[in-house]
């Protein structure tokens, strides 16, 4: 996966016959490697910071300045060498719900990402551990999608998959996504979101969730895990033990999970259980106050949540990674202290510490003093190296694996199965005569253009003004984005806004990708029947009018 394609394969060794270590299973090999690592290497393996710059070794002066302030180095490769890092996350400045934790942008194009990850892996292989990096990103699809540039296949949002409720389609689509991420050198995806939405919804989670039904969400999470990992990318279940039954945003507050333990077990944990059973290699801990387990303590720092519930009760044996350590609930302690507390609670990887040097120094001091038991740190690093060695068994796909008709077909099948009609007739076309396509705030230009082109391809006459209005409402648009004169209103994100629309026809796509617009046109023209069912309740409307 990225860098040296020989990593972890005995066939690449120069010795005439493989050693016992080379032929052993990944867990055994990991334990043998860990026994040889010094303190700084052990500490470095549990850190997964961000970096500034779009290349491992050559960065713009502004990126070098950012790296110096953050980690006392100029380049990403130097950061890996200085702190013996075990992983890095690729980030992108965005305006989505997670944007506040992304100070840097590492992503410009698929070819650039492949070159960057190759350089990062080369730097990692020069370290004493000699194992690949975990290189992660938040490729959830929908509103949180870090790599959007063509020819990368864009899947619909999690909520769209929940509306389709077909785990086979989910697995096929996420296998395509995993193959493409692996080709780019990204070997960890911080997805799927396993949060089940509560009745009130969640502004920060929204369409990132598969919906309000724990069973539907569990089926979809399991399908996504199987697909991603079949493609050679480690899946991450987040945000444990569930961010959906909250209204606060853990980026800036400590959300409270107030339900009792029985409700937590039945309403929040099933998708995590299903993902673990499907073989997920990572679980992300959430900055959440789980009142029924350990009141007042963020789950990220709760031994009872991460060790007693996640490991002992649910039987998870893989890597536990924190949510960003730069988020408000983790900033109540000094950076080094927070790092130590997180590891002692049961986390194996610390994501995006606000200061790499401070986190590294805090862990190293705790290790040397005995506060952080060496045996516990070795257990964490063994889990980390085990996953790395598993990933190294996958051959990195060529760049030609990115995009293509087969992957687009998988995305299209999922997007088509998601289209939901919440008001209107299921028989025949939903629009006729002359049509005008508009969007909230006059925006969503690419979506309008894509829908116009697709409608015309289906023989619909589209005019700039004066026709029956098909109005698009997307992520971030509320009631103010609605039009009272629209014949058709389409929700391209969560469908809640449709409950406040007076349009005679209401459609939900849950996504704004070009593929979602194409299949929307097919339904509007009457050439396909909408088969989706809203995975969340919408005030005053049925889950579907199509049975």
User: Predicted confidence band at 13 (pLDDT cuts at 50, 70, 90)?
Assistant: very low
Q: How many CA atoms lie within 13 A of 430 on its CB side?
A: 32
Other beta carbons less than 10 A from residue 64's beta carbon: 17
- For residue 101, is pLDDT > 90? no
Flag the least confident range among 31-45, 199-213, 309-323, 486-500: 199-213
CATH number of 419-524: 3.40.50
Condensed to tens digits (0 to 9), the pLDDT of residues 263-285 reads 999 999 999 999 999 999 999 99
Q: Which two tokens stand for residue 229?
A: 């990992």
Which tokens hold the place of 451? 């829908």
Mean pLDDT computed over 97-119: 87
Is residue 491 a contact partner of residue 510, using CB atoms and an 8 Å limit?
A: yes
Predicted pLDDT at 16 = 33
Tokens of 399: 């760049």
Fold of 10-401: TIM Barrel (3.20.20)
| Cα angle for residues 470, 472, 474 (degrees, 5° grid) | 170
The residues spanned by each domain of the chain are 10-401, 419-524
Average pLDDT, the chain: 93
Q: Which residue has the higher pLDDT, 169 or 21?
A: 169
Of residues 13 and 323, more confidently modeled:
323
- 323 catalytic, yes or no? yes
pLDDT in tens, 342-352: 999 999 999 99
Model pLDDT for residues 355-378, shown as the tens digit of each residue: 999 999 999 999 999 999 999 999
| Averaged pLDDT for residues 430-435 | 96
| DSSP per-residue codes, 13-44 | -SSSS--HHHHS-HHHHHHHHHTT--HHHHHH
User: Which stretches does DSSP call E strand in 445-527?
Assistant: 461-462, 468-473, 488-491, 505-508
**C-alpha span between 513 and 492 (Å, rounded):** 9
pLDDT reported for residue 251: 65
SS3 507: strand
Residue 12 burial (CB count, 10 A) = 11
Q: Does the pLDDT at position 19 exceed 50?
A: no
In DSSP notation, 44-63 reads HHTEE---S-SSSS---HHH
pLDDT of residue 92: 87
Residue 525's pLDDT is what? Answer: 97
Q: How do residues 437-480 score in pLDDT, each as one tens digit?
A: 999 998 999 999 999 999 999 999 999 999 999 999 999 999 99
| Whether the domain at 10-401 and the domain at 419-524 fall into the same CATH topology | no
The DSSP bridge pattern shows strands 47-48 and 350-351 to be: parallel
| Choice among 323, 348, 355, 477 that is catalytic | 323
At 509, the pLDDT band (50, 70, 90 cuts) reads very high
Prediction pTM value? 0.93
152-186 residues labelled b (16+ CB within 10 A) or e (exposed): bbbbbbbbbbbbbbbbebbbbbbbbbbbbbbbbbb
Q: What is the pLDDT of residue 248?
A: 57
- Whole-angstrom distance, CA of residue 85 vs CA of residue 94: 26
pLDDT at 18: 37
Please give the C-alpha separations between residue 516 and each of 141, 292, 442, 451, in angstroms, as whole numbers: 12, 40, 19, 9
Mean of pLDDT values over 480-502: 97
Q: Which tokens sit at 526? A: 């009457």
Q: Place 14 in a pLDDT band, splitting at 50, 70 and 90.
A: very low
Q: Active-site residue among 251, 360, 407, 471?
A: 251
User: What are the pLDDT digits (tens) for 135-173?
Assistant: 999 999 999 999 999 999 999 999 999 999 999 999 999
Answer positive or negative: Cα dihedral of 11, 12, 18, 21: negative
Residues 6+ apart with CB under 8 A from 435: 455, 460, 461, 462, 463, 467, 468, 469, 470
Q: How sure is the predictor about 255, in pLDDT bands with cuts at 50, 70 and 90?
A: confident
| pLDDT value for 547 | 79
Any idea which of 243-252, 303-312, 454-463 has the lowest mean pLDDT? 243-252
Q: For residues 272 and 200, what is the distance between their CA atoms, to the nearest angstrom?
A: 21
Could you give the CA distance from residue 346 to residue 332 in angstroms, rounded to a whole number?
19
Reported in sequence order, the residue ranges of 259-318 that DSSP labels E, i.e. its strands, are: 282-285, 289-290
**DSSP state letters, 373-417:** -HHHHHHHHHHHHHHHHHHHTSPPPPGGGSS-HHHHHHHHHHHHH
Tell me the three state secondary structure of residue 334. Answer: coil
Total H helices, total E strands in the chain? 18, 18
Torsion angles phi and psi, residue 497, rounded to 5? -60, -25
pLDDT band, residue 253 (cuts 50/70/90): confident
Residue 6: pLDDT band (50, 70, 90) is very low
Instruction: Say whether pLDDT at 3 is over 80.
Output: no
Distance CA 7, CA 454 (A): 46
Question: What is the predicted pLDDT for the residue at 104?
Answer: 84
Mean pLDDT calculated for residue range 124-129: 93
């Amino acid at each position: 996966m990225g860098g040296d394609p020989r990593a972890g394969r005995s066939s690449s060794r120069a010795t005439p016959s493989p050693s016992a270590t080379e032929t052993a299973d990944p867990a055994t090999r990991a334990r043998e490697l860990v026994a040889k690592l010094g303190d700084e290497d052990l500490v470095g393996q549990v850190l997964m910071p961000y970096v500034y710059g779009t290349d491992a070794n050559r960065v713009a002066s502004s990126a070098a300045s950012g790296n110096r302030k953050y980690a006392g180095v100029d380049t990403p490769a130097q950061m890996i060498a200085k702190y013996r890092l075990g992983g890095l996350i690729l980030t992108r400045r965005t305006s989505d719900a997670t944007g506040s934790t992304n100070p840097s942008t590492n992503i410009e194009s698929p070819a650039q990402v492949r070159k960057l990850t190759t350089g990062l892996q080369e730097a990692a292989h020069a370290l004493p551990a000699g194992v690949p990096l975990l290189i992660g990103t938040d490729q959830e699809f929908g509103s949180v999608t870090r790599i959007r540039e063509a020819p990368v296949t864009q899947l619909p949002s999690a909520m769209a998959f929940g509306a389709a409720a077909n785990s086979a389609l989910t697995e096929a689509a996420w296998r395509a996504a995993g193959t493409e991420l692996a080709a780019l050198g990204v070997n960890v995806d911080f997805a799927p979101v396993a949060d089940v939405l509560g009745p009130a919804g969640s502004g920060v989670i929204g369409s990132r969730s598969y919906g309000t039904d724990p069973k539907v969400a569990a089926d979809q999470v399991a399908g996504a895990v199987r697909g991603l990992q079949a493609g050679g990318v480690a899946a991450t279940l987040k945000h444990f033990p569930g961010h959906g039954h909250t209204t606060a945003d853990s980026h800036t507050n400590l959300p409270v999970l107030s339900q009792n333990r029985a409700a937590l077990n039945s309403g929040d944990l099933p998708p995590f259980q299903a993902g673990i059973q499907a073989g997920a290699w990572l679980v992300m801990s959430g900055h959440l106050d789980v009142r029924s387990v350990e009141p007042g303590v963020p789950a990220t720092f709760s031994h009872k949540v991460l060790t007693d519930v996640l490991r002992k009760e649910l039987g998870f044996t893989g890597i536990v990674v924190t949510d960003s350590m730069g988020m408000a609930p983790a900033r109540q302690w000094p950076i080094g202290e927070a790092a130590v507390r997180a590891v002692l609670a049961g986390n194996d990887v610390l994501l995006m510490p606000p200061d790499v040097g401070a986190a590294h120094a805090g862990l190293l001091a705790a290790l040397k003093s005995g506060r952080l038991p060496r045996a516990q740190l070795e257990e964490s690093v063994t889990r980390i190296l085990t996953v790395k060695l598993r990933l190294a068994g996958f051959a990195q796909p060529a760049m030609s694996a990115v995009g293509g008709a087969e992957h687009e077909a998988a995305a299209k099948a999922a997007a088509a199965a998601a289209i939901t009609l919440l008001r209107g007739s299921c028989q025949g076309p939903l629009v006729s005569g002359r049509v005008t396509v508009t969007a909230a705030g006059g925006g969503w230009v690419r979506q309008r253009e894509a829908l116009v082109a697709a409608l015309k391809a289906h023989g619909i006459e589209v005019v700039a003004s004066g026709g029956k209005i098909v109005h698009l409402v997307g992520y971030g648009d509320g009631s103010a984005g609605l039009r009272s004169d629209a014949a058709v209103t389409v929700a391209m994100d969560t469908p809640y806004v449709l409950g406040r629309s007076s349009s005679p026809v209401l459609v939900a796509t849950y996504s704004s990708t070009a593929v979602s617009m194409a299949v929307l046109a097919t339904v509007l023209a009457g050439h396909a029947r909408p088969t989706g069912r809203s995975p969340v309740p919408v005030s005053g409307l049925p889950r579907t009018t199509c049975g």
